[in-house]
Amino acid sequence: MFLSVFDMFKVGIGPSSSHTMGPMVAAARFLDKMRASPFHYAGLRGSLHGSLAFTGVGHATDRATILGLAGFLPDTYDNDKAEATLEHIRDSHSVTPPGLPTLKFHPKEDLVFDFGPNLPGHANGMILMATDAQGDVILQETYYSIGGGFVLTDAELAAGKATDDGTPIPYPFKSAAEMLEMAERSGKSIAQMKRANEIARGGPENLRSGVARIWQVMNDCIERGLNAEGILPGGLKVKRRAKGIRDALVAERGTNLTAPHKINDWMSAYAMAVNEENAAGGQVVTAPTNGAAGVVPAVIKYWLEHVPGAHETQIEEFLLTAAAIGGLVKYNASISGAEAGCQAEVGSAAAMGAAGLAAVLGGTPAQIENAAEIALEHHLGMTCDPVRGLVQVPCIERNGLGAIKAVSAASLALRGDGTHLVPLDACIETMRQTGLDMSEKYKETSLGGLAVNIPNC
């Protein structure tokens, strides 16, 4: 099993990896399918199903799909160009994707929110269609946005296709138990094994430059969020808070009134800065999703800014370790809130952050696995119930608490020798089973929980 660090950490746009980035990627894949076929096309249609329908407006799913059909991609997204393109589409009722003719597409008529039963493969389903001059469908594909920006067709999902291209890697662990056994046998750390796998696929320079970009985008996102003020879009009138928290903490420095627990406020400020940017549609890194994008960057920022001896040269070790854990969760369970609730998003992110921090603080593979297990275990059962379908309440604060849990989990694990009762594999399987048992109304549909129990208009 191989999931790259660049699969777990993707540069994209807010507010959601599964509801915004995924549909945009799916639309781009459909355009590629159209370009590769011999038909002459005249128009486009689409339908959004399950969670993509129920919380699609709040997650900008329709906007992302429209832009994807116009040729936009998350990692090269230009907001000014996007706004101009959307205005043109609204006025002309057409799109002109690169390499294809101008196609009839009236967003209000040709993109349907289907609130009926979910499509059979996943809670985040969408169908895209291309039509001929008479309006008859001549090409159709079903896509599933399975979390973290990953997209599979109906056939790929049925075949169990992952992102692994089959190229041999030196350490192909599929479980935490295998990971620990390979680490013991090889004498290598988790990060060293993960690095060897990455180099086998993409080479050392691709790894070095790619990881540097991931952290640059993460850190830039934190800094933008810490310096931004105002009200977040969407109608809930949620006020940005990260800057105010950071400013107050800076003002309290050097006084005798600062309590030790204030360090938690720093972690929350870093995480909330990211998720406020995400809620505003800014550039973020999936970690492993947009809804949980603040946890890992906040833990890294906390470590760099507040832990003696921390240095940016170890960020690669942090991210490789975190990606190894995230890959195990995705492969054996889920990172999708629509599939397993927020335990799969913030819970997975906390496990990744805890593992990464334990690694750069000198933890053994067993201690790192223990840190990830502690963090995930104490998110089990967490629901995904975004108010009005927006990635704001409870998502923004939840990332702050996820970062705090990640740091606490790493610290607890490093106080032991790695021996513990519940293996990470058992915790991941428990999360998967809990997701299966969880009511659909608590899985990113905004039909239960906080979403229906507080005023949102």
Rounded Cα distance, 417 and 114, in Å? 52
Distances (CA, A) of 334 to 12, 118, 386, 445: 20, 18, 19, 17
Q: Are residues 399 and 322 in the same domain?
A: yes
161 — pLDDT class (breaks 50, 70, 90): low
Encode the chain in three state secondary structure: CCCCHHHHCCEEECCCHHHHHHHHHHHHHHHHHHHCCCCCCCEEEEEEEEHHHHCCCCCCHHHHHHHHHCCCCHHHCCHHHHHHHHHHHHHHCEECCCCCCCEECCHHHHEEEECCCCCCCCCEEEEEEEECCCCCEEEEEEEEEEECCEEEEHHHHHHCCCCCCCCCCCCCCCCHHHHHHHHHHHCCCHHHHHHHHHHHHHCHHHHHHHHHHHHHHHHHHHHHHHCCCCECCCCCCCECCHHHHHHHHHHHCCCCCCCHHHHHHHHHHHHHHHHHHHHCCCEEECCCCCCCCCHHHHHHHHHHHHCCCCCHHHHHHHHHHHHHHHHHHHHHCCCCHHHHCHHHCHHHHHHHHHHHHHHHCCCCHHHHHHHHHHHHHCCCCCCECCHHHCCCCCHHHHHHHHHHHHHHHHHHHHCCCCCCCCCHHHHHHHHHHHHHHCCHHHECCCCCCHHHHCCCC
Rounded Cα distance, 155 and 160, in Å? 9
Cα–chain center distance at 70: 23
Give domain status of residue 370, yes or no: yes
pLDDT in tens, 235-259: 999 999 999 999 999 999 888 778 9
Number of domains composing the chain: 2
- Is residue 77 scored above 60 in pLDDT? yes
Nearest to 329, CA basis, from 156, 175, 161: 175
Mean pLDDT of 413-431: 98
Give domain status of residue 420, yes or no: yes
Give me 308's structure tokens: 């003696």
pLDDT in tens, 375-410: 999 999 999 999 999 999 999 999 999 999 999 999
Q: Are residues 304 and 384 in the same domain?
A: yes
Give the pLDDT of residue 120.
Answer: 95
Domain boundary among 159, 190, 216: 159
Give domain status of residue 3, yes or no: no
- Contact, 24 vs 185, CB < 8 A? no
Sequence-distant (≥ 6) Cβ neighbours of residue 420 within 8 angstroms: 370, 373, 374
pLDDT in tens, 263-306: 999 999 999 999 999 999 999 999 999 999 999 999 999 999 99
Longest dimension (CA), the chain: 76
Give the pLDDT of residue 454.
Answer: 86
Q: Are residues 153 and 224 in the same domain?
A: no
Q: Are residues 121 and 259 in the same domain?
A: no
- Is residue 373 scored above 60 in pLDDT? yes
Rounded Cα distance, 298 and 270, in Å? 5
Rounded Cα distance, 236 and 233, in Å? 8
Q: Are residues 335 and 243 in the same domain?
A: yes
Q: Are residues 75 and 105 in the same domain?
A: yes
Give me 163's structure tokens: 């992102």
Q: Are residues 301 and 409 in the same domain?
A: yes
Give domain status of residue 262, yes or no: yes
457 — pLDDT class (breaks 50, 70, 90): low
- Contact, 353 vs 384, CB < 8 A? no
Domain boundary among 124, 159, 194: 159
Residue 434's domain comprises 176-453
Mean pLDDT of 170-177: 98
Distances (CA, A) of 44 to 21, 111, 144: 20, 9, 18
Give domain status of residue 169, yes or no: no
Give domain status of residue 8, yes or no: no
- Is residue 229 scored above 70 in pLDDT? yes
Q: What angle do CA 361, 363, 367 make, to 5 degrees?
A: 135
- Size of the chain in residues: 457
- Is residue 163 scored above 90 in pLDDT? no
Q: Are residues 139 and 89 in the same domain?
A: yes
Q: Are residues 259 and 374 in the same domain?
A: yes
Give the pLDDT of residue 320.
Answer: 98
Q: Are residues 271 and 220 in the same domain?
A: yes
Sequence-distant (≥ 6) Cβ neighbours of residue 347 within 8 angstroms: 375, 376, 379, 380, 382, 402, 431
What is the CATH classification number for the domain harbouring 34? Answer: 3.30.1330.90
Give domain status of residue 6, yes or no: no
Cα–chain center distance at 295: 11
Q: Are residues 78 and 206 in the same domain?
A: no
What is the CATH classification number for the domain harbouring 379? Answer: 1.10.4100
Give the pLDDT of residue 456.
Answer: 57
Give domain status of residue 170, yes or no: no
Domain boundary among 127, 159, 191: 159
Q: Are residues 313 and 407 in the same domain?
A: yes
Write down the mean pLDDT value for the chain: 96
Rounded Cα distance, 69 and 65, in Å? 6
- Is residue 75 scored above 80 in pLDDT? yes
Which stretch of 77-91, 163-177, 199-213, 325-339 has the lowest confidence by average pLDDT? 163-177
Give the pLDDT of residue 256.
Answer: 77
pLDDT in tens, 7-27: 999 999 999 999 999 999 999
Sequence-distant (≥ 6) Cβ neighbours of residue 212 within 8 angstroms: none
Give the pLDDT of residue 380.
Answer: 98
pTM of the full structure: 0.93
